[in-house]
Amino acid sequence: MQTLKAQLLRYEGLSLKPYRCTEGKLTIGIGRNLEDKGLSLDEVDYLLNNDINNVIAQVAVHIRVFKLLNETKKIILLDMAFNLGVAGLCKFKNMLRALEDKNYPLAAAEMLDSRWAKQVGVRADELAQKMALGE
């Protein structure tokens, strides 16, 4: 198996970002044709778990109030960071300040007073409603 892997790496090359192969197909990794093969559910689950773990680690470092929040509010911030990126979440300074002050209705209002809320619609409405409840 190792010999085959080494040979495939040599001939296919390695790309950590999608590219178009010589046939014009979207490809990633070591010759993975995303258009014809796509991903299995196991692969999607693996990627999601990896992404979630990365977001948790980044939010814990960059959002001071995170460790003080209950599970519901942590999940809200993680959901937002997953969608916006941690740098995008950090731009919600008024919301984060409201969280530090434990003013959850204001934090919810700040969530909704954003371009993000207009872009994601129902997602923002539902997350803000959970935030406002202070649970």
Q: Which long-range contacts link 60-67 to residues 24+ away (Cβ below 8 Å)?
A: 62/86, 62/89, 62/90, 63/89, 63/90, 63/96, 64/96, 64/100, 65/96, 65/99, 65/100
**pLDDT tens, residue by residue, 77-110:** 999 999 999 999 999 999 999 999 999 999 999 9
Mean pLDDT of 17-31: 96
pLDDT of residue 135 exceeding 80: no
pTM for the model: 0.88
Domains and their CATH numbers in the chain: 2-33 (no CATH), 41-133 (1.10.530.40)
Q: How far apart are CA 72 and CA 83, in angstroms?
A: 17
Output DSSP code: residue 121: T
The predicted structure's pLDDT at residue 15: 97
Q: How far apart are CA 61 and CA 56, in angstroms?
A: 9
The predicted structure's pLDDT at residue 132: 97
pLDDT of residue 134 exceeding 90: no
Backbone angles phi, psi at 32, to 5 degrees: -75, 110
**pLDDT tens, residue by residue, 30-80:** 999 999 999 999 999 999 999 999 999 999 999 999 999 999 999 999 999
Q: How far apart are CA 39 and CA 96, in angstroms?
A: 36
